[in-house]
Amino acid sequence: MASEDPFGERLMQASYAGPNRQDNGINVLITAGPTREPIDVVRHISNMSTGRLGVEIAREAFRRDYNVLLLYGQGTAKVPPYIRTERFTTTQSLLTKVLQELPRTDIFISSAAVSDYAPVPLDEKISSDKDELSIQLRPTPKVIKEAKKAARLDTRFVAFKLGYKMKESDLIEQAIASYGSVADLIVCNDLADITEERHPAIVLYKGQVVSRVEYKSHIAKAIFDTLEKKPIRIF
């Protein structure tokens, strides 16, 4: 169920993204796509994230009249021109932008695929003639946890947990252990179940399963459907 429909995008832009568009006054900050951590001046470590899920979430937020800012890494998904977007590369550059935006953020959706470790970068090009190469890695900041420390008390947080070939109960338990103290809502899924089109996920709110969905567009809808049903000052 691909959502990149050119006609639909043009209709969306014509209908909702014109100069007279009025948002609902609620600021949504979304992160999407992979980070890139430099090894030397020409090489980097990254991951396979395309950014498609985060872009789909941004579309859905825009459809619902939220004021959307997308922080987008080096993904391959096309961002609609009506989505206000800023780019990032490294985990640190992402964290810097997130912290800058947090004072005016009502909902923070942390869907970027952030590197857990980064090389100690070299300000040179490593020779390609080496028989072996060792790279020293160090932990990166946990963006959503650093953001939680700096956010307003009423900011809603959405986290994502990806497992691999896990029992559903273990995946849910791991998601809650990782983000239960940080996020209001957690989307968790298993990489082994994800295909080019399908993106099965379990949506948790306050540690309880509230929905199970099959596609990226359904995840985006489930996030906002759930948050909009829960009492909070800004809604």
What was the pLDDT predicted at 196? 86
Residue 216 belongs to some domain of the structure: yes
pLDDT in tens, 151-181: 999 999 999 999 999 999 999 999 999 999 9
pTM (2 d.p.): 0.88
pLDDT tens, residue by residue, 3-41: 555 555 655 555 555 555 677 889 999 999 999 999 999
For residues 107 and 101, the answer to whether their CB atoms sit within 8 Å is no
At residue 231, the pLDDT reads: 58
Q: Is residue 184 part of a domain?
A: yes
Residue 15 lies in a domain: no
Residue 168: inside a domain: yes
- Tokens at residue 227, please? 């948050």
The reply to whether 19 falls in a domain is no
Q: Residue 39's domain spans which residues?
A: 25-121+137-229
Does 51 map to a domain? yes
pLDDT tens-digit map of 114-128: 999 999 888 999 888
**Token pair for 17:** 């993204």
Burial 79-107 (b: 16+ CB within 10 A, else e): bbebbebeebbbbeebbebbeebbeebbb
110 by DSSP, 3-state: which?
strand
Residue 128: inside a domain, yes or no?
no
Domain count, the chain: 1
Assigned token pair, 169: 């109960």
CATH code, domain with 75: 3.40.50.10300
**CB distance 183 to 206 below 8 Å:** no
Q: Examine residue 225 and state whether it is found in any structural domain, yes or no.
A: yes
